[in-house]
């Protein structure tokens, strides 16, 4: 199905297509693929000089006799028990080690360090204060497992296991530390309830469908308004900045693993505070159905959160900077010409602005509107698709300045993002149609296109036959005969007819 | 929202509520889908898929890595992974989109892994067949004014010939965003072409 509303550049498209075809025509790697996909099971290596009769011993070294192993182990125990403890260093080390808390804490820290080294994790690092303020922008599924503290030197490192570069899982860890990040500086650690075994992880299909949906757009249309200057206001008339992002991840529910997309809609206002809500949907390709997922209590998502002395680090109440507000109930399912417009501030941003180690604070300064502030999600994949909403009728439409802009200052960098009118995606001029009607229209367009294509193919065939006949006549080839059914009289039998289903 | 809800589980774990979207048209390409289902065991099916999609997979990979050799490796890896797929619905799935999604994931993974090595494409390609280098440079020049996501969108649209809906699915973003990116990419290219003349 082609979209008639989008004007392409046929010349450029053809040039690119042709060049790419030329380039890929040199690629020939099927043998390589086939060898890897269908390895021969019973390859005969008997003629090879490198055949090893005992495959366990490929290095050719003599194995130590079992008795020697025992002697070596006994000697090591003697050294450890009898000699080492008498040295001052070990005495000091052991006493410090005992102070570090109970087995559980040490076990979690060991697991975090080895697990995050062994498997692929996205790592976010920020101060504890920042993490608590913006926890839903680090991982929307997990609220902070740590209590707030007056100590501004405490940092949090958050680890999310990833299945593909932009696909996350709900296996996460978090640690609190001071100074440089190393084992001895960790003061608290938390682990998620969900863990994936190697087998489960291997079976995760990173290519399954993570649907992008529009509930956040519907929700922002329902719960926010625009004033005559284009400012966004909440239901009480407070100036706010509102944004949304998508977070795609695998979620484990018992033995079942679902691919889910969480849409997070959030707002920040100087006078009214920060709010968020989340809509999580899992898509099942087999049944073509969406499953709305509701998360359990925040605390229940964590297996434990523990201080170095063995006490619980889990806060009594949620202390996160964002309070949950019901944005996703009772929303419409249609985009209208009055729907909120939006822009993607990071879509064209330079890599230096897109560092994905922590949530960034964006100061939004439009030419003719109130200044607002909003934070951006931590993950690169979420950041690049972050949508900041703006009233559909805004200053861009009446500004006499041809270079009217929204200036966005990103905290921690000297760089700025500039949003111009062409960057704003609005729905003005669109026909108010529900998703169902849009599907019908698209199906109808497809029928018409198929009809046109069929007709043009017929016309082409007739034209070619006619050309052949004329060539044959020109060369006086007597043997050439043209079948009667393609002898055409254009006035009676036009080669090309356009029909409309209406 | 058109949602008939049904609780599947509750308590300590997540609560799942099923809802279906009305009027959703799904027309999978069954030939491709069947080939995908069979390719793990049939070399012939794999070969057919390779011939059908080699060019598109290469284009997607080149759009992301900008490197001929890495793209060639992506083609190999994509088809090998295709033979290892365990969950694919031949009845419902979009085979072409599925293959190109794998290709995109592989290319992103390779680019991240070999980012430093591909930073200087021209030097890296020294010694290659002249035509290959020339074509690679030509395409990179054509697309140099576009950012990463715009390049991917343009290639998926022009070289892989996907619809905006399919591109949205492959790139995991809303269809409106894809359309806007495409419009913007074309306007940038036209503007730059005007400047060059």
pLDDT digits (tens, 9 = 90+) for B17-57: 554 444 333 444 568 888 888 888 899 999 999 999 999 99
8 Å CB contact between A344 and A373: no
Query: What is residue A47's predicted lDDT score, i.e. its pLDDT?
Result: 41
Least Cα distance to B43 among A34, A27, A41, A28 occurs for A34
How many A/B residue pairs have CB atoms within 8 Å?
218
- Nearest chain B residue to A435 by CA: give it: B23
CA-based nearest residue in chain A for residue B98: A207
Residues A285, B89 contacting (CB under 8 angstroms)? yes
A209-268 residues touching B, CB cutoff 8 A: 209-215, 218, 246, 248, 251, 253-254, 258, 261
Lowest mean pLDDT of A139-143, A403-407, A496-500, B58-62, name the range: A496-500
Q: Which residues of A touch B93 (CB under 8 A)?
A: 285
Task: Report phi then psi at A341, rounded to 5.
Answer: -85, 170
Inter-chain residue contact A1 with B112, CB threshold 8 Å: no
Q: Do A1 and B12 count as a contact with CB atoms less than 8 A apart? A: no
B175-196 vs B164-171: helix crossing angle, rounded to 10: 100
**Average pLDDT in the A122-130 region?**
92
* Average pLDDT of the residues in A217-242: 89
List, as own/partner pairs, every contact residues B150-154 make where C-beta atoms lie below 8 angstroms and the sequence separation is at least 24, other chains included: B150/B181, B150/B182, B150/B184, B150/B185, B150/B188, B151/B63, B151/B64, B151/B185, B152/B60, B152/B63, B152/B64, B152/B104, B153/B178, B153/B181, B153/B182, B153/B185, B154/A16, B154/B63, B154/B182, B154/B185, B154/B186
Please determine, for residue A392, whether its predicted confidence score (pLDDT) is greater than 50.
yes
For an interface test with B, the pick among A5, A22, A24, A259 (most B C-beta atoms closer than 10 Å) comes out as A24
Report the SS3 class of residue A388: strand
pLDDT (tens digit per residue) in B139-167:
888 888 888 888 999 999 999 989 888 88
**pLDDT reported for residue A70:** 63
Q: What is the dihedral of CA A203, A209, A214, A216, to 10 degrees?
A: 10
- A414 vs chain B: nearest CA distance in angstroms? 21
Which residues of chain B are within 8 Å of residue A24 when distances are taken between CB atoms? 54-55, 58-59, 62
For chain A positions 108-147, those within 8 Å of chain B (CB to CB) are none
| Span A470-499, average pLDDT | 58
User: What burial class does residue A119 get, using C-beta atoms within 10 Å of its C-beta: 0-12 exposed, 13-18 middle, 19+ buried?
Assistant: middle
Better-predicted residue by pLDDT, A367 or B92: A367
pLDDT at A420: 86
pLDDT at A168 over 60: yes
The stretch B77-82 carries a mean pLDDT of: 91
The angle, 0 to 180 degrees and rounded to 10, between the axes of the packed helices B68-83 and B43-65 is 140
Q: Searching chain B, which residue's CA lies closest to the CA of residue A248?
A: B172
Confidence band of A185 (pLDDT split at 50, 70, 90): very high
Residue count of chain A: 502
Residue A86, pLDDT > 50, answer no
The answer to whether A336 and A217 are in contact (CB under 8 A) is no
Place of tokens 């889990």: A314
How far apart CA A187 and CA B70 sit, in angstroms, is 43
CA distances to A309, B98, B120 from B33, rounded to whole Å, are 56, 9, 38
Residue B195: pLDDT band by 50, 70, 90 thresholds? low
Cβ-defined contact of B58 to A24 (cutoff 8 Å): yes
Nearest CA-CA distance, residue B47 and chain A, Å: 7
| Closest residue on chain B to A437 (Cα) | B23
Coil, helix or strand at residue A308: coil
Mean pLDDT of A334-339: 77
Using alpha carbons, select from A430, A207, A228 the residue that is nearest to residue A336: A430
List CB contacts of A227: < 8 A, sequence separation 6 or more.
A233, A391
Indicate if the pLDDT at residue A275 is higher than 90. yes
Structure tokens at A276: 């968020």
What gap in Å lies between CA A276 and CA A350, rounded to an integer?
Answer: 28
What is the sign of the dihedral through the CA atoms of A202, A203, A207 and A211?
negative
User: Coil, strand or helix: which one is A419?
Assistant: strand
Report the mean per-residue pLDDT for chain A. 79
Report the b/e string of B64-84 with b at 16+ CB within 10 A. bbbbbbbbbbbbbbbbbbbbe
Contact A419, A406 (CB under 8 A): yes
Average pLDDT (A185-192) is: 95
The model's pLDDT over A417-465, given as tens digits with 9 standing for 90+, comes to: 999 888 888 776 655 555 566 666 667 777 777 777 788 788 888 888 8
Q: Does A326 touch chain B (CB under 8 A)?
A: no
DSSP conformation class of A213: -
State the maximum Cα–Cα separation within chain A, in Å, rounded to a whole number.
113
- Residues B98-140: tens digit of each pLDDT: 899 889 888 888 887 776 555 544 444 444 567 778 788 888 8
pLDDT band for A286, please (50, 70, 90 cuts).
confident
Q: Where are the alpha helices (DSSP H) in chain B?
A: 30-38, 43-65, 68-83, 95-113, 121-124, 130-143, 148-158, 164-171, 175-196
Beta bridge partners of A305: A190
Based on its alpha-carbon atoms, the radius of gyration of chain A, rounded to whole angstroms, reads 32
Of A94-108, A273-287, B115-129, which one has max mean pLDDT? A273-287
Interface test with A, best of B50, B87, B172, B197 (most A CBs within 10 A): B172
Contact B40, A454 (CB under 8 A): no
Check B105 against A8: CB less than 8 A apart: no
**What region, left, alpha or beta, does residue A183 occupy, with left being phi > 0 and alpha being psi -120 to 50 degrees?**
alpha
Rounded to an integer, what distance in angstroms lies between the CA atom of residue A385 and that of residue A244?
9
Q: B20 and A205: CB-CB below 8 Å?
A: no
Q: Quick check: A46 pLDDT over 70?
A: no
For residue A246, give the chain B residue with the closest CA.
Answer: B173
In the β-sheet with A372-376, what is the strand arrangement from edge to edge? A372-376, A360-366, A406-410, A416-419
CB contact under 8 A, A207 and B25: no
How are beta strands A241-253 and A167-177 bridged, if at all? Answer: parallel
What is the distance between the alpha carbons of residues A144 and A130, in angstroms, rounded to a whole number?
11
pLDDT of res. A496: 53
| pLDDT at A167 > cutoff 90 | no
């Amino acid at each position: 199905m082609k979209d008639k509303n989008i004007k392409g550049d046929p010349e450029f498209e053809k040039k690119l297509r042709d060049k790419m075809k030329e380039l890929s025509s040199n690629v020939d790697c099927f043998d390589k693929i086939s060898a890897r996909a269908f390895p021969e099971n019973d390859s005969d290596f008997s003629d090879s000089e490198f055949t090893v009769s005992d495959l366990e011993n490929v290095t050719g070294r003599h194995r130590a006799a079992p008795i020697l192993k025992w002697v070596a182990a006994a000697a090591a125990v003697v050294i450890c028990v009898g000699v080492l403890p008498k040295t001052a260093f070990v005495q000091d080390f052991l006493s410090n080690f005992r102070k570090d808390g109970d087995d559980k804490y040490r076990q979690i820290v060991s697991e975090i360090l080895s697990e995050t080294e062994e498997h692929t994790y996205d790592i976010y690092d920020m101060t504890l204060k920042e993490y608590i303020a913006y926890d839903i922008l680090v991982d929307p599924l997990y609220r902070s497992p740590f209590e707030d503290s007056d100590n501004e030197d405490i940092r949090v490192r958050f680890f999310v296991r990833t299945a593909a570069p932009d696909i996350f899982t709900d296996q996460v860890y978090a640690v609190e530390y001071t100074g440089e990040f190393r084992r001895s500086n960790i003061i608290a650690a938390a682990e998620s309830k969900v863990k994936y075994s190697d087998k489960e992880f291997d079976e995760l299909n990173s290519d399954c469908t993570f649907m992008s949906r529009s509930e956040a757009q519907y929700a922002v249309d329902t719960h926010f308004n625009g004033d005559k200057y284009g400012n966004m206001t909440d239901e009480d008339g407070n100036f706010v900045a509102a944004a949304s992002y998508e977070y795609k991840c695998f979620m484990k529910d018992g033995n079942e693993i679902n691919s889910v997309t969480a849409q997070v809609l959030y707002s920040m206002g100087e006078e009214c505070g920060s709010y968020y809500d989340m809509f999580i949907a899992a898509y099942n390709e087999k049944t073509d159905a969406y499953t709305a997922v509701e998360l359990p209590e925040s605390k229940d998502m964590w297996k434990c959160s523990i201080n170095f002395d063995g006490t619980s680090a889990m806060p009594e109440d949620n202390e996160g900077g964002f309070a949950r507000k019901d944005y996703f109930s009772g929303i419409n399912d249609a985009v209208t010409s009055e729907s909120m417009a939006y822009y993607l501030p990071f879509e064209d941003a330079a890599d230096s602005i897109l560092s994905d180690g922590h949530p960034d604070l964006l100061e939004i300064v439009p030419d003719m509107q109130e200044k607002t502030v909003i934070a951006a999600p931590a993950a690169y994949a979420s950041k690049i698709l972050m949508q900041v909403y703006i009233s559909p009728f805004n200053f861009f439409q009446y500004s006499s300045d041809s270079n009217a802009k929204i200036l966005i200052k990103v905290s921690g960098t000297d760089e700025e993002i500039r949003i111009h009118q062409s960057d704003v995606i609005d729905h003005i001029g669109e026909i108010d149609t529900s998703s169902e009607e849009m599907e019908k229209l698209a199906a109808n367009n497809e029928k018409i296109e198929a009809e046109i294509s069929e007709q043009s193919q017929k016309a082409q065939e007739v034209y070619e036959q006619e050309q052949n006949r004329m060539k044959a006549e020109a060369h006086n080839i007597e043997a050439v005969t043209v079948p009667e059914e393609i002898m055409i009289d254009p006035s009676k039998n036009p080669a090309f007819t356009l029909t409309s289903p209406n | 929202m058109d949602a008939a809800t049904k609780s599947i589980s509750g308590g300590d774990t997540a609560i799942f509520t099923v809802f279906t979207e009305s009027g959703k048209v799904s027309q999978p390409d069954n030939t491709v889908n069947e080939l995908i289902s069979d390719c793990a065991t049939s070399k012939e099916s794999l070969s057919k898929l390779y011939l059908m999609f080699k060019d598109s997979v290469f284009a997607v990979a080149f759009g992301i890595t900008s490197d001929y050799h890495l793209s060639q490796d992506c083609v190999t890896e994509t088809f090998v992974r295709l033979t290892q797929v365990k969950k694919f619905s031949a009845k419902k799935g979009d085979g072409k989109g599925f293959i190109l999604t794998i290709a995109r994931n592989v290319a992103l993974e390779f680019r991240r892994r070999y980012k430093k090595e591909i930073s200087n494409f021209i030097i890296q390609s020294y010694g290659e067949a002249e035509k290959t280098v020339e074509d690679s440079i030509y395409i990179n020049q054509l697309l140099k004014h576009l950012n990463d996501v715009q390049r991917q969108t343009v290639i998926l649209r022009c070289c892989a010939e996907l619809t905006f809906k399919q591109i949205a699915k492959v790139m995991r973003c809303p269809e409106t965003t894809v359309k806007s990116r495409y419009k913007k990419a074309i306007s940038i290219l036209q503007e730059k072409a005007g400047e060059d003349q």
